[in-house]
Amino acid sequence: MRANEDKTVNYGAIGSGGGIRSLRDHSVDFGASDAFLNEEEIMTMNGEVIHIATCMGGVVMAYTLEGVDSLRLSGRLISDIYLGKIEKWNDPRIVIENPNIKLPDLDITPVYRSDGSGTTFNFSEYLSVVSPEWSRVMGKGKSLKWPAGIAAKGNPGVAGIVQQTEGAIGYIGSEYALTLRLPTAKLKNRAGNYVDATLETISAAANVRLPDNMRATITDSEDPNAYPISLFTWILVYKDQSYDNRTYEEAQDIVELLEYVISPDGQKVAAQINYAPLSEQALEKNRRLIEQINYGGLPITP
């Protein structure tokens, strides 16, 4: 499917919270988020909302350590670092995972997001899966209560501090880190392999059984090549497009946009900006979901 040059999409990068709020108020045609709506949030929307996965991303651990250009970490280590239980880079627990590297006797400065963020949600969701202690003490969410480290706003804020601070480590959206080519740690996945975040390893994380409504987290994937902190990013639209005097043509435009996003052309654009393409299984489920979008019960056909 080709891009339609006659139509313009206005996208406001106001954060997913703002996007969801605007969708609830019917002031936008669709919202987008890196975290799917939970049952409670779905209930507050003015109508049934469906989630269309548009592409995949990851959360990477960027760090700055002079002379260390390859670092291996596990979920447990990341959890201990952010809980303030590992404070030095040459802690034996890190050394065991990195036997061939000389790690300095230097304080670790964990950096996290000061603003609410889907990146924080996916990062903490992963740590909740792999670390019982994290699950108990921290939990998962778009913003948390942090016992250690310092905070900065947005991916650029975290990346800026990590790049400029010897001994810092921070979690950053993979699309941002891959574009900047920041040094990032290899993470130990469920199969025990250490993997870099690349478009291929992120896509591989979706090689699991996905639910029909596509509302799934895919962290700590079973696939042996998968990058462990991978995620879908979704567009949220109302299933019935006939609200607020909208026209049938407007509904057609939305469906056409969604079909373009999941078409090979659309997915190619995603890869150009370092988002990983969707697997065939995910694309198929997406198509089923888009078919359900209707106009007061009428099917929407081009």
- Per CB under 8 A, contacts with other proteins among 77-136 are 106-107, 109, 114-117
Residue with Cβ nearer other proteins (116 or 183):
116
Residues in the chain: 302
Rounded least distance, CB 120 to other proteins, Å: 10
Candidates 15, 47, 104, 183; binder of other proteins (CB under 8 A) is: 15
**183 sits near other proteins (criterion: CB under 8 A):** no
Give the one residue of 47, 104, 141, 183 binding other proteins; rule: CB under 8 A: 141
Residue 152 touching other proteins (CB under 8 A) = yes
Nearest residue to 62 via CA among 246, 229, 271 = 229
Question: Does residue 156 belong to the site contacting other proteins (CB under 8 A)?
Answer: no
Closest CA to 235 of 4, 82, 16, 78: 16
Q: Which stretch binds other proteins (CB under 8 A): 8-16, 48-56, 174-182, 259-267?
A: 8-16
Instruction: Give the type of residue at 249.
Output: E
Distance CA 167, CA 238 (A): 46
Contacting range for other proteins; rule: CB under 8 A; set: 139-147, 209-217, 260-268, 273-281: 139-147
Which span sits near other proteins by CB under 8 A: 151-159, 202-210, 218-226, 255-263? 151-159
Nearer to other proteins among residue 33 and residue 274 (C-beta): 33
Q: Nearest to residue 161, comparing CAs of 113, 105, 229? A: 113
Spacing of C-alpha 247 from chain mean position: 33
At 57, list the tokens: 């991303």
- Residue 252 interacting with other proteins (CB under 8 A): no
Tell me the backbone φ, ψ of residue 70, rounded to 5 degrees: -145, 125
The least distance separating other proteins from the CB of residue 66, rounded to whole angstroms, comes to 14
SS3 of residue 256 by DSSP: helix
CA-derived radius of gyration, the chain: 20
Residue type (1 letter), 186: K
Stretch that binds other proteins, among 141-149, 182-190, 199-207, 229-237 (CB under 8 A): 141-149
Element (H, E) at 127: helix 118-130
**Residue 272 makes contact with other proteins by CB under 8 A:** no
Nearer to other proteins, 15 or 183 (CB): 15
Q: Where are the beta strands (DSSP E) in the chain?
A: 31-33, 49-63, 72-73, 109-113, 150-152, 168-173, 186-188, 194-195, 230-238, 294-295, 298-299
Q: How far is the CB of 150 from other proteins (least distance, A)?
A: 4
Smallest distance, other proteins to C-beta of residue 98, A: 20
Q: Does 167 bind other proteins (CB under 8 A)?
A: yes
Tokens of 126: 């992963």
- Name the packing angle between helices 280-292 and 248-261 (round to 10°): 180
- Told to check if 146 binds other proteins by CB under 8 A, we report yes
Query: Which residues are at the interface with other proteins (CB under 8 A)?
Result: 14-18, 21, 106-107, 109, 114-117, 139, 141-146, 149-153, 160-161, 164-165, 167-168
